[in-house]
Structure 1
Amino acid sequence: MKMGILLVLACASFLVPVSKAQDASLNITELTTKNMDFAMNLYRKISSYHDKNIFFSPLCISTAFATLSMGAEGLTREEIIKGLNLNLLERDGQPELIPELFQQLQGNITLNGELQLDQGTALFVRLDFEVEKTFGDQIKKFFNADIQNIDFANAKASKATINDYIKRMTGDRVMEAVSDIDPFTQLMLINTIFFQGKWELPFDPKHTENDRFHVDKYNLVQVPMMFREDKYYHASDNSLKVKVLRLPYEGDIAMLILLPNKGVDYTSIDDEISAEHFLGWVKQLKKTKLEVQVPKFKMDQSYAMHKILPHLGIASVFENTANLSGLSREQGLKVSEVLHKAVIEVDEKGTRAAAVTVTGMTGYSLPTSFVVNRPFFFFIYHEITNSLLFMGRVIDPTKM
């Protein structure tokens, strides 16, 4: 009988702004670019299932699987690294290079003490389960991971212990990430990310008023629309027919809003979103005085990644052919489930959330307003490293 490993990825974000720290190394830049393209590929796969709101943390997911890859061998490891879009970063004789890059990235992101970004990795294992010492040492070294023994046979108590851990690590934002536990579970790998930030240019609640949001050509909803007039960085991509707005947080984080032009279906943008375009948008941002209107919204999204990731090439780790011999000598290990849960709340004070082709691009000349009153995309990223922490799309701000 195959023994299942359950991965739970819980993400909560509360956003923050930018001060310049030391330049990121080229290797970290390569890592963040590759992770960004992984995020776009994952977004497209998720979006193919429905036309609703989407929110997830690509950094949370890639960190969890980078951790798991250290216990994988052969085809299983190759699929994980390639699926994460990190295969081009591999170097012969340097098996620890990718984990080192994740470690350096985390250090660069948190270098500025103003930023609250907490990532956590924990391994909950069966009482008599033996983790390979090398694997245990490596995940402790690179991901500061905790390994805790737990009695999965006592499903109620183990579920409470794990959910309490996730709740604590995400600032009480992610609740009941694990709804039930199979008593035959061998191991659970938990990765959390928690980010809280305040707008550098906060919105005055007195100026927030209900206004129309065009879900599509035929449906309108009333939403609380925040308003502020100030100097903002923004741009226009004429080739894709989208506008871009940067909303900075206090620290080194910003939200980039991608708003399709009026009359442009957001689905026409899906296939064009890439790291190259994202970096191009950031490069072309120009500062000017602008009236900004952005809806308040909350989202609580959950995804069964074990059903999605095989479409990105990460398949054998979920099958009976999985090779996780670097994690444990126990026979028959495979990953049974990967649960990813992410929550976000955007209001006047800031954001709370618990995962270039420059042709045709110009800065706005003298726009007067940037009104986000139709479906849009958003990206929360670390500005110094261009690391994408969270991304999503809002079709209907009144839906969770």
Structure 2
Amino acid sequence: MSVFLYLLFLVFGLQATIHCVQHKSSDGKVTTCHLPQQNAALYKMPFINADFAFSLYRRLSVENSDWNIFFSPVSISVVLAMVSFGSGSSTQTQILEVLGFNLTDTPVTELQQSFQHLICSLNFPKNELELQMGNAVFIGQQLKPLATFLDDVKSLYETEVFSTDFSNVSASQQEINSYVEKQSKGKIVGLIQDLKPNAIMILVNYIHFKAQWANPFRVSKTEESSSFSVDKNTTVQVPMMHQLEQYYHFVDVELNCTVLQMDYSENALALFVLPKEGHMAWVEAAMSTETLKKWNDLLQKGWVELFVPKFSISATYDLGSTLQRMGMRDAFAESADFSGITEDNGLKLSHAFHKAVLHIGEEGTKEGATPDAGSLDQTEVASLHPVIRFDRTFLLMILEKRTKSILFLGKVVNPTKE
């Protein structure tokens, strides 16, 4: 089973410093990896980033209570951190506090190095897992970015800066959409539909993820039409993948939910969380680094008869108002301080657009049959084993093992709604 996930996050500003190493892949392609020295902030980052992920999730859940939720917490954290490094005074403080950092405890330089280490670790080539984050800056042609900003985004983040005439809405919108479509390999088309002429600077951040399950599903076991309960009054029909396999799983009696871990073949895993009916809000409120640690400690491997829907979902947000409610106010105000980006006055955030797309199936986005191999038949193991059927609203987390980062976080309310 493959999973393809593509993310776009549009926001403004960035700046940084870092050391470099290079990796040469088997096809001869040289990849630059920006790797600073490790520091104390680096060890705290997975926990702080996770708390930010759950805080943002709860905000989005309140604002979109009856919709699918899906976003990339680590990518948003990285983009906001980069924005903070091009800012100053209370603008910078508020951005970092929303992310969960306290400048009294951790110097900005340490935070900067830690995020750069995170980017390097996530982007570094892996044999069976494709994970790549990247950026592009579209800046109003009337602005003059600092030379240090231009140098840093090119050498440290492999980011191109495009001078854009935002007064020509149609042309600038087409320019950004074309870039996004190319960088996402055609998976995100027409991202911006209503660009306003007062835009100043836009950062496009994308993340590409592709991985194989350690225990692939058999296509022949997939039920073509199975019931999925959206709510008390709504049921939809979805293809339901079926497998009898050994998984790490756990029933949390305190939170009234079932947790199941599905491993990828390299450096990543997915956590599927199925609350009992009527207990979703309880589980959402309890999500934290402590809860993740508890689940990790109590998960045990055993035979499970598993049913997971084959589905595609996408979610688009303008995170501007959400981030302001979380405390990031000055960045959107006339008094915003982005002096690390340009000496020109009046630079502030206008929007923070975010779009994520998920497809999950026997062969990811590929169509066609998959060889029947991998799982054992029911008759080959003892008949007494739990049956876990994800046939109602569930939570989904995808984590990168080495950095302990939450790559993606979401809630599947209706798997038929893309």
- State the TM-score bracket (shorter-chain normalisation): 0.7 to 0.9
State the distance in 2 between where 1:177 and 1:310 align: 23
Look up the SS of the partner of 1:45 in the other structure.
Answer: helix
State the distance in 2 between where 1:67 and 1:86 align: 14
Q: Is the 8 A contact 2:41 2:110 kept in 1?
A: no
The change in CA–CA distance for 1:310 and 1:376 in structure 2 (over 3 A counts) is same
Look up the SS of the partner of 2:317 in the other structure.
Answer: strand
1:108 maps to 121
Look up the SS of the partner of 2:286 in the other structure.
Answer: coil
1:387 aligns with 2:400: no
CA-CA distance at 1:351 after TM superposition: 7.4
Q: Is the 8 A contact 2:69 2:411 kept in 1?
A: yes
CA-CA distance at 1:142 after TM superposition: 4.2
Look up the SS of the partner of 2:352 in the other structure.
Answer: strand
1:377 maps to 395
2:10 maps to 8
1:84 aligns with 2:96: no
1:359 maps to none
Q: Is the 8 A contact 2:238 2:309 kept in 1?
A: yes
State how many pairs are aligned.
364
CA-CA distance at 1:265 after TM superposition: 2.5
1:4 maps to none
Deviations 1:53-101 (A, max 9, x none): 1111112211111111111110100000000112268534xx3322221
1:233 maps to 248
The change in CA–CA distance for 1:379 and 1:369 in structure 2 (over 3 A counts) is same
Look up the SS of the partner of 1:134 in the other structure.
Answer: helix
Paired AA for residue 8 in structure 1: L
Q: Is the 8 A contact 1:199 1:349 kept in 2?
A: no
1:123 aligns with 2:125: no
State the distance in 2 between where 1:145 and 1:271 align: 37
State the distance in 2 between where 1:175 and 1:96 align: 37
The change in CA–CA distance for 1:165 and 1:296 in structure 2 (over 3 A counts) is same
Q: 1:166 aligns with which of 170, 180, 192?
A: 180
CA-CA distance at 1:395 after TM superposition: 1.3
- Indicate the RMSD between aligned Cα atoms, in angstroms: 2.1
Paired AA for residue 105 in structure 1: L
Unaligned runs of 5+ in 2: 1-8, 12-37, 367-383
Look up the SS of the partner of 1:48 in the other structure.
Answer: helix
2:5 maps to none
Within a 5 Å distance, the mapping from 1:1-400 to structure 2 comes to: 8=10, 27-49=41-63, 50-87=65-102, 91-92=106-107, 95-111=108-124, 112-209=126-223, 210-261=225-276, 263-350=277-364, 367-400=385-418
The change in CA–CA distance for 1:106 and 1:113 in structure 2 (over 3 A counts) is farther
Larger RCO of the pair (alpha carbons < 8 Å, separation 6+): 1
CA-CA distance at 1:242 after TM superposition: 1.1
Q: Is the 8 A contact 1:100 1:142 kept in 2?
A: no
Q: Is the 8 A contact 1:70 1:135 kept in 2?
A: no
State the distance in 1 between where 2:349 and 2:270 align: 33
Deviations 1:224-271 (A, max 9, x none): 11001111111222211111111122221111101113x342112111
TM value normalised by structure 1:
0.85
CA-CA distance at 1:300 after TM superposition: 1.5
CA-CA distance at 1:220 after TM superposition: 2.1
CA-CA distance at 1:180 after TM superposition: 3.0
CA-CA distance at 1:199 after TM superposition: 1.7
CA-CA distance at 1:350 after TM superposition: 4.1
Farther off after superposition, 63-72 or 152-161: 152-161
Q: Is the 8 A contact 2:245 2:305 kept in 1?
A: yes
The change in CA–CA distance for 1:35 and 1:88 in structure 2 (over 3 A counts) is farther
Q: Is the 8 A contact 2:53 2:73 kept in 1?
A: yes
Look up the SS of the partner of 1:335 in the other structure.
Answer: coil
Look up the SS of the partner of 2:416 in the other structure.
Answer: coil
TM value normalised by structure 2:
0.82
Look up the SS of the partner of 2:349 in the other structure.
Answer: strand
State the distance in 2 between where 1:88 and 1:319 align: 22
Look up the SS of the partner of 1:336 in the other structure.
Answer: coil
Unaligned runs of 5+ in 1: 1-6, 10-23, 353-365
* Percentage of identical aligned residues: 33
The change in CA–CA distance for 1:123 and 1:236 in structure 2 (over 3 A counts) is same
State the distance in 2 between where 1:28 and 1:62 align: 14
Q: Is the 8 A contact 2:241 2:308 kept in 1?
A: yes
Look up the SS of the partner of 2:94 in the other structure.
Answer: helix
State the distance in 1 between where 2:202 and 2:259 align: 40
Paired AA for residue 133 in structure 2: Q
The change in CA–CA distance for 1:305 and 1:84 in structure 2 (over 3 A counts) is same
